[in-house]
């Protein structure tokens, strides 16, 4: 497995297009040959992203190319979002472009994202396809199974929600001596 050192940037409201472009990979639309517009329910994960403090995210650049993104949104029960736990727990999504998968980019994003998320939230949730390799990825970062009996709006596969309790730690940013090639403010 070849490792890549991505440069990480905060997702800003002006970069909603990045969230919209990466969402098909986060929801596996590329594997079922569907387009984002075909599943209206997915709008809640990108529409008006970053316009409230309820949104937090980052994206990764490799050789000046967007490799992936990871973001969360605090939603309410009316949204009927996959992975919804309660209105204080944001739902997280992560997508990596196929050519950048299995190169440690997801891990690099997750490590920094969890530090950032712990500043604002006590816990975070994610919806995962049962028996997906993503389950062990999230377990590696301390996510635990929370509930099941959900169904993916993409292809009807069984999913379950995983939950991560966040620990408040001192945040490390480039201005504190952190390697600025990995994370840019």
Give the model's pLDDT for residue 2. 64
CB 42 within 8 Å of CB 100:
no
Closest CA to 46 of 82, 21, 29, 65: 21
Look at residue 181 and tell me whether its pLDDT is greater than 50: no
Look at residue 105 and tell me whether its pLDDT is greater than 90: yes
Domain ranges of the chain: 7-122
Give the model's pLDDT for residue 98. 94
Q: Give the pTM.
A: 0.86
Q: What is the mean pLDDT of residues 68-84?
A: 92
**133-140 and 105-120 helices cross at what angle (nearest 10)?**
50
Beta bridge partners of 57: 71
The owner of tokens 């204080």 is 88
DSSP state of 70: E
- C-alpha dihedral (40, 42, 45, 49), degrees to nearest 10: -30
Among 39-43, 67-71, 116-120, 167-171, name the one with the lowest average pLDDT.
167-171
Closest CA to 175 of 183, 166, 165, 164: 183
What pLDDT band is residue 171 in, cutting at 50, 70 and 90? low
DSSP state of 167: -
Q: What is the mean pLDDT of residues 53-80?
A: 93
Closest CA to 62 of 112, 103, 110, 12: 103
Give 81-137 as a DSSP string: -TT---TTSPEEEEEE-GGGTTSSHHHHHHHHHHHHHHHH-SEEEEEEETT-HHHHH
Q: What is the mean pLDDT of residues 1-14?
A: 82
Give the model's pLDDT for residue 1. 53
Question: In a 10 Å sphere around its CB, with 0-12 CB exposed, 13-18 middle and 19+ buried, how is residue 54 labelled?
Answer: middle
CATH topology for 7-122 is: Aminopeptidase (3.40.630)
Percent residues over pLDDT 90 in the chain: 56
Summary mean pLDDT of the chain? 87
Give the model's pLDDT for residue 183. 47
């Amino acid at each position: 497995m070849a490792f890549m050192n991505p440069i990480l940037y905060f997702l800003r409201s002006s970069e909603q297009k990045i969230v919209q472009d990466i969402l098909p990979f986060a929801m596996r639309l590329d594997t079922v040959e569907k387009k984002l517009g075909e599943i209206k329910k997915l709008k809640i994960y990108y529409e008006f992203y970053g316009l409230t403090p309820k949104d937090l995210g980052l994206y990764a650049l490799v050789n000046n190319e967007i490799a992936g993104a990871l973001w969360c949104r605090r939603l309410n029960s009316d949204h009927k979002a996959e992975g919804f736990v309660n209105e204080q727990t944001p739902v997280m999504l992560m997508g990596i472009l196929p050519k950048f998968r299995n190169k440690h980019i997801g891990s690099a994003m997750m490590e920094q994202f969890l530090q950032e998320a712990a500043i604002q939230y006590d816990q975070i949730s994610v919806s995962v396809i049962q028996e997906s390799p993503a389950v062990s990825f999230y377990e590696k970062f301390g996510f635990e199974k929370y509930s099941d009996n959900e169904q993916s709006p993409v292809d009807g596969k069984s999913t379950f929600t995983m939950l991560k309790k966040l620990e408040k730690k001192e945040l490390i940013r480039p201005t504190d001596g952190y390697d600025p090639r990995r994370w840019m403010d």
